[in-house]
Structure 1
Amino acid sequence: MRKINDIPAAPVYSNTIVYVGQAINQALVNQLQDEGYNCLQYTDAFKAYVYLLAEVYANAPLPYAILCQEDLKEEEAYTFIANLARCHRLRTVPSILLLDKNEGANKRKAKLAGADDFYTGPVSHEDLLERLEFLHATRDERLEQTDAQQDFPHLRISLGKRLFDILFSGILLILLSPILLVIALAIRLESPGPIFYISKRVGTGYRIFNFYKFRSMRPDADKELEKVIHLNQYQSQNGGLAFVKIDNDPRVTRLGRFLRNSSLDELPQLFNVLLGDMSIVGNRPLPLYEAEKITRDLWSKRFLAPAGITGLWQVTKRGRKEMSTEERIELDMQYADECSLWYDFKIMAQTVPALLQKESV
C-alpha cells in the first residue's frame, strides 16, 4: 500500500493552478489563463482536497500552485491549507492564502496553517506569478525549514498489523469462498443489478479507494437518498449530519435485510484488506459526502488510524439509536490514540457478541 507520506525525489509540476474560494476573483483567473495556466476552480475545499489527493495517488504531475481565499465558511480556508501539509508531496506545491482583511490575527493564522505566503486586498497576477516562481526556486530550502518547525503525524499502520491483516483475510477468503458464491448467486436471482456495491470511500490519511460490499439495496438506491434522509439514525448536536444510517430503509431488498442483519454484506471487504485499502480492525472508511463533514483539525485525527471492517464504536455502541455523530467521532479518535495489535485483538474478541446483539431500534 502506498503511504501518504511517500515523496518522490523529483516532483513534476503541471501548468495547473487550483483556486479555492466562494467568490473567486474571475479577473485574476482570466489573467492567469492568458499567461498559459489552467485554473481549476472549486467553491468546496473538501472537493478540492479530494482532487489533489487523487492526483497524488495516481502519480500525476502536481499543480503549479494552490490558491485559497479566506471567504470559506467557518475558517475552512485555514484547515484546508493545514491539511495540505499532511501529504508531503502536496507540501512541495506553493500554497497561498488570499485574505479578506489586512489584519495581524489573520496573518498569524495563515502562518500557523502552513501557507507559503498570503496576500490581502487586490492581487496583481504579475506579482503573484513572480512570487510563485521564487517559491518554486526555493522549494527545498522552504521544506527543510517547515520540517524543522512542525511535527507531522504519521499513519498508524505497523508491519505486524499489516502481516496479520494479510494472513487473516487470506485464510477467511479461502474458508468462506463457498458462502461467498452462494450469496452472489442469491443476489443475482432476487433482483437485477450488480452483485457487488462499489463506492468511493475515504480511509487512512484521507486516501480514497473502491470499497466493496454485497449489494443489499435496489440498483437505484443512491438516487433515492434525499427521499429517506429524514430517517437517519445519526443526528449531530449542531444540526449537521456526518454519518448516515437509515432506520428501516425502504431501499433495502428482502435478501439485503438478512445480509445486513447478519453482517454478511461486509464479507467482500476482506478483498479491501488483502489489497491494503483497509485493516480488519480500524475506523470505518467514510463515503465522500460523510467525510467532507469531518475536516476540522479536532476531528481529522480519526483519519490517522487504519480504516477497518470492525472497530471500537461497532463493539461498544452497536445499535444505539440515540448515538450522536459526536459520540461516534469521539470513539474513532479514541481508537486513533490507542490503536495497537493487542488492542485490535480485544476488539475482535468483542465483535462476534456485538454482531449477535439485537439493535435497539
Structure 2
Amino acid sequence: MGTEHSGSKRPAGAAKARSGAKDVAQLAGVSTATVSRVLNNSQQVDPDTRRRVLEAATKLRYVPHGAARTLRSHRSRMIGAIVPSFDYALYARTTSALQQRLDERGYALVLAEHHYDLAVETRIAGQLIERGVDAFLLVGLDHEQALFSLLEDYGRPFVLTWGVDPLQRHPSIGFDNRAATYEVARHLIALGHRRIGLLSAPLSGNDRARARGEGLRAALAEHGLGLDPRHVAYEPISLATAEAGMARLLAAPDRPTAVVATNDVFAVGAMLACRKAGVRVPQEMSITGVDNTDLGATQTPGLTSVATPVVDIGRAAADQLVARLEGGPWEPFQQFPVQLVQRGSTAPPAGLQRAAG
C-alpha cells in the first residue's frame, strides 16, 4: 500500500509542466486570440486555420482555459465516471454504489458515456478535466494510450474497473471475466452438452466481451471440444438484438443444444427467441447468462447465471480514489470473486434426457 501506486513518478494530483494557449498558437502559426476563438467554437475562423489549431492542441494534449488552471491549487471534489453505455443496467449499479460512497466523503459524481468508442472516451475525459474533475473511474481494460497520457499530464488519478489489469500497469478493481463464462461452460459440459453456442457483444473496445468468449473456449478445449463459428452471434446489448442473434443460432446447421450469453440481457433475449420459435427451455435448449440480475432471476424458468460484484466494485473504486486524492493508503489492485447461480434454464440435452427416462 502507499499514497500512490508504486509505478507512478509523482503523487496523485501533481501535474507536470503542461502546454498553454501560447504553445498551441506557436505550433499552429496563429495568435492566442485565434486559439481562443477556435476552442470556443467561434464561427469566425476559416476551416484550414481551425484544423491547424485543433491538430496543434491535440498534439500538445492541451486542455483549455479556466478550470484546469485554477485546480493547480484547489480541488473541485468532483469524480468523473465514464461508462460505455447508460442503457446497460449493471453499469448503473456500479456508478450508484460509487456515488453513494463518494457522497459520504463529501465528493460529487459526474457521469458520462462513450458508446464503446474509445476515442470519444478520451475526448470526454479532456472535457471533464477542463471542468475541474479531480479523478476518474473508467470501465474495462481497453483504452486509448492518449487517454492515459492525458490523465498523466494533468495529474488526474484514475482506476480501471470491471477487470483487473493482468500486467499491473494501471490501478484496477474488478473480477475475472474469463472465469465467469468458464464456470458456466463447465456446468453445461457436465450436464452433457457438446454443441455450445455463444451470444456476445461485439469485441472491439470491449475486453469484457473478449474475456468472456475466451472463458467458454477454454472450457470447451479442456474437454476436446471447439466453438463452431456458425454457433456464434455478436450483437449490441439489447433484448431485441439478442433475440435476433439467438434466432440465427436456432436456424444454424446442427444448432447448439446450449448457449452461453455473455450477460443476462443477451440470455433473456435468447429465451424470448426460443419462445417465439417454440423451442422449450431447458428441455430443448439450455441458456446461461452472466451478472445474475433480477431480469434473469425472474424469468420462467429462472436463468442460470454468474453473480458478479458490480456493487462492491463501485464502493471500492470510491474508497481508492478518495484515498489517493487525500494522501491515504490504498490498494492498487483488487479482485472480487464470482459465483455460479444455478436455476431452471439449464438441463441435460434432449438426447440424454430421453436416455435417462
Global fold match (TM > 0.5):
no
| Structure with greater helix percent | 1
Normalising by structure 1, what TM-score? 0.28
Structure scoring higher RCO (CA < 8 A, sep ≥ 6) equals 2
- Computing the radius of gyration from Cα coordinates, the structure with the larger value is 2
Normalising by structure 2, what TM-score? 0.29
